Amino acid sequence: MNLTGGLHLAYCTNIHRGESWGETMANLERYTLAVRSAVCPKEEYAIGLRLSEQAARELSDPPVLKAFRTWLQDNDCYVFTINGFPYGRFHGTRVKEQVYRPDWTNSARLEYTKLLFDILAQLVPDGVEGSVSTVPGSFKEFITSPEQERAMRDQVWACVEYVAALSKKCRRGLHLGLEPEPLCYLETSAETVRFFEQLRSEHPGDGRINDHLGVNYDTCHLAVEFEEPHDVLARFRSNGIRVSKLHLSSALKVRPTPEVRKSLAAFCDSVYFHQVISKDAEGKLHRYPDLDVALATAASDGSSSEWRIHFHIPLHSRPAAFFDSSTSRHQMDFMSELSQSSFDNTTDHLCGALDVLGREPGLCSHLEMETYTWEVLPPELKKREVVDQLIAEYGWTLDQLAKRGLRPIGI
């Protein structure tokens, strides 16, 4: 949807299971239009599209793409951003480290991303920029040589050149957003800055990097890193790095008491990585590749003062709101633990980023709610159907934006 300040807000359709274009289109019909009718029934509605490589190939067929453009027009919808992070299957099977493959050392990642931009160039409306978000180079464990690092930079730069030429041809501002994530090659804001510095040193004076490459700032990811949003955005700004897109997301934040560690087992799943970063009493950070690893190996002697866990939880979730007349004794015990100060979320980081956006709407025009973990949420956090959850997330987000002077246009 269109917001004041030239902003666009959508939810990311990667929350829905589906890898083919037929499945993706069915999800738009079944879920996205239902959400739209509740939150934005009379105004133009924005879609944050997720396309697997298979779906992108199928959609790129001219008659199929033409039919989708007609569908968007008939339903008064528009696409301004595509999530190009997961290349292949993203639900219902083990994803874990495979979500980073192919990485930016592999030409398949480049060709997939170029295809997404080809599609986006034909979908984004006049006067609206288009963005694609992508993996943060690679997973750290995959990179073992300087040659791989150079290959990543070369392929990202090849994409910048392609996007720049495409932008000129279609007369639209298009940009790629690298998405820093815990334990990935681009993990922290400082590592991201160094990557941009390397690219600039290899392509001195080439302004295309400023216009067509940026960062997809996922507020869950950098909160897990114990970074502060004001510092992150100031660092990007001072180094001339654009914020291509802002992912509105929240992570788990806990004080790892024995009781909390027991409750955290409900958040372990076999599908996604849930990286954990702990901070000890001296302020030192310790990293674990997954929640089950942290639970099995991290000290249980109270030496960790806080854990932050890469598990996207619903933006509107508040422990006190989970109780109702149908809540079981087991659920009440679980939620009682959540209600304690030892079990929290990182909404403060998200709101800090929105504070900056409220003061500087020109900082980033693309906002996307991304809580893709709906299928693997513990039952106590999954008491609503997915459409109802998305509607609730819109309600929370629009309320937070309104508090900062950013409101939907025409609603």
Average pLDDT over residues 86-108: 96
pLDDT per residue over 287-316, tens digit each?
999 999 999 988 766 667 899 999 999 998
Whether the per-residue pLDDT at 340 is higher than 70: the answer is no
pLDDT of residue 341: 52
pLDDT digit string (tens) for 180-217?
A: 999 999 999 999 999 999 999 999 999 999 999 999 99
- For 10, the token pair is 């959508």
Residues 191 and 143 sit within 8 Å (Cβ to Cβ): no
Percent of the chain with pLDDT over 90: 86
Residues facing 368 on adjacent strands: 10, 247
Burial class (CB in 10 A: 0-12, 13-18, 19+), 296: exposed
User: Minimal CA–CA distance to 250: which of 230, 223, 276, 272?
Assistant: 223
What is the distance between the alpha carbons of residues 196 and 172, in angstroms, rounded to a whole number? 23
CA angle 113, 119, 125 (to 5 degrees): 125
Is residue 335 over pLDDT 70? no
Which pLDDT band holds residue 379 (cuts at 50, 70, 90)?
A: confident
Q: Has residue 319 got a pLDDT over 50?
A: no
410 band by pLDDT with thresholds 50, 70 and 90: confident
pLDDT of residue 281: 87
Q: Output the average pLDDT for the chain.
A: 93
Has residue 350 got a pLDDT over 80?
yes
The dotted CATH code for 2-250+345-403 is 3.20.20.150
Q: Are 347 and 315 contacting, i.e. CB atoms less than 8 angstroms apart?
A: yes
- Given a cut of 60, is residue 330 above it in pLDDT? no
3-state per-residue secondary structure call for 1-53: CEEHHHEEEEEEHHHCCCCCHHHHHHHHHHHHHHHHHHHCCCCCEEEEEECCH
Please write the tens of the pLDDT for every residue from 10-27.
999 999 999 999 999 999
- pLDDT for 411 equals 67
Rounded CA-CA distance 157/212 in Å is 10
The closest alpha carbon to 252, from 241, 264, 240, 237, belongs to 264
pTM of the complete model beyond 0.75: yes
The pLDDT tens digits of the residues spanning 380-400 come to: 788 789 999 999 999 999 999
For residue 240, pLDDT beyond 60: yes
CB atoms within 10 A of CB 309: 26
In contact, 358 and 237? CB cutoff 8 Å = no
pLDDT value for 318: 58
Q: Which backbone phi and psi does 174 adopt, to 5 degrees?
A: -115, 140
Q: For residue 82, give the 3-state DSSP assignment.
A: strand
Q: Which residues contact 143 (CB under 8 A, 6 or more apart)?
A: 105, 137, 149, 152, 185
For residue 23, the model assigns a pLDDT of: 98
10 and 408 Cβ atoms separated by less than 8 Å? no
The confidence score (pLDDT) of residue 323 equals: 33
pLDDT in tens, 247-285: 999 999 999 988 889 889 999 999 999 999 999 989 999
Query: Is residue 113 over pLDDT 70?
Result: yes
Sheet containing strand 343-345, strands side by side: 285-288, 276-280, 304-313, 250-254, 343-345
In Å, what is the CA distance from 219 to each residue of 96, 104, 226, 270? 20, 23, 11, 24
Which residue did the predictor score with more confidence, 162 or 336?
Answer: 162
Q: For 125, which DSSP code?
A: P
Ordered alpha helix ranges (H), 171-238: 189-202, 208-212, 219-224, 229-238
Residue 352 has pLDDT above 70, yes or no: yes
Residue ranges of domains in the chain? 2-250+345-403
> Looking at residues 77-101, what average pLDDT do you find?
96
Highest mean pLDDT among 250-259, 320-329, 368-377: 368-377
Average pLDDT over residues 333-348: 67
